[in-house]
Amino acid sequence: MQAISPSDKKCNRFFAGEVEYLIKVLTVLFVSSFKFAGGPPLAYAYNFSYAETIVLTVSGGLGGVLLVSYYTPFLMRIWSSLLVFWKGLFAKKKERSSLFSKPLVDVDGPVDVRYTYVPSGQEEEKKVFTKKSRRIVRIWKKYGLIGIAILTPILLSIPVGTFIASRLVPQRRTVILYMLFALVFWSVLLSSLFELYQVMTLTQLEQAFFQ
């Protein structure tokens, strides 16, 4: 059995460390691209520096913004197709059964049945708005795109906030620019607070801030 030289052991440790570092980087990027608020705490848990935390979280968040903003039309086509399929599978059958009753006759021989459409007078189904959707509408009316962008990294999540902004504002570059500004703002703020209070989780930061 061939012995492993000290240089080989050192090389193996080096590559193992590099792989571990790469996994940590990819994890922070992935988390930041979806739930941005979890990026800075995770980066500090992995012992990344202040500058590394900002670069990684902003890069991950921006990656999520670009992905959603460029694929929003494709996602909308899929969503529309699913809605059409769903309505065709369930709603149409229910609608037909509610408009016409089954004819009942007690005669011998064929019967010619003709239907005449009569409006039922029923009101169209109203759209149901949740508390979250109402809040988003109020923010949009009061603050516009900047309000949606500021809330996206912390409350809405990157995919949801970018999707909403892309639907409300057709200019893709404008949406990306506003989102980038919000990502840099929150990354610098959260990273600075973590660095200042020497904490590693949002819960610890909240406790330290309100003490």
Q: Domain spans of the chain?
A: 6-98+129-200
For residue 176, the one-letter residue type is I
**CA–CA distance, 147 with 150 (Å, rounded to integer):** 5
3-state SS assignment for residue 30: helix
**CA–CA distance, 39 with 29 (Å, rounded to integer):** 8
For 28, 107, 111, 113, the CA distances from 104, given in Å and listed in that order, are 68, 10, 11, 10
Tens of pLDDT, residue by residue, the chain (211 residues): 455 555 555 555 555 668 888 999 999 999 999 999 889 888 988 889 899 999 999 999 999 999 988 887 777 777 677 777 777 766 555 555 555 555 566 666 666 666 665 555 444 445 555 676 777 778 888 888 899 999 999 888 899 899 888 888 888 899 999 999 999 999 999 888 877 776 656 566 566 555 5
pTM of full prediction above 0.75? no
Residue 20 burial class via C-beta count within 10 angstroms: exposed 0-12, middle 13-18, buried 19 and up: exposed
Gyration radius of the chain over CA positions: 28
**CA–CA distance, 101 with 98 (Å, rounded to integer):** 7
**CA–CA distance, 166 with 173 (Å, rounded to integer):** 10
**C-beta atoms surrounding 112 within 10 Å:** 4
